[in-house]
Amino acid sequence: MGHMVRTVFGVGLLILGVIGTLLPVMPGFVFFAAGIAVLGTDHAIVRRFHPYVVRVRAWLERRGFLKRHKS
């Protein structure tokens, strides 16, 4: 899939995810997660949110909601 097609498709899924969080009819998280998966971590849109995801994950691990995997 070309970079431009993947970007348009991923951003479209992110927009559907945002709309889904506002409307109770659509599951917003599914579209939002799919948009992030399509864009991948090499895209600037996803990289911008990466520090926030790391902080939230660390906070959830400290609270015991997530368990660390031992490697």
Q: State which residues of the chain have pLDDT below 50.
A: none
CB 28 within 8 A of CB 17: yes
* 68 located within any domain: no
Output the pTM of the full model: 0.59
Q: Is position 26 within any domain?
A: yes
20 in a structural domain = yes
Chain Cα centroid distance, residue 11:
11
List b or e across 24-54, with b for residues whose CB sees 16 or more CB atoms inside 10 angstroms: eeeebeebbebbbebbeeebeebeeeeeeee
The domain of 56 spans 3-63
Residue 51 lies in a domain: yes
Q: Is residue 59 part of a domain?
A: yes
- Give the total number of structural domains in the chain: 1
Note the pLDDT of residue 16.
86
Q: What pLDDT is recorded for position 1? A: 62
Task: Look at residue 69 and tell me if it is in a domain.
Answer: no
User: Is the residue at 54 inside a domain?
Assistant: yes
**pLDDT recorded at residue 71:** 54
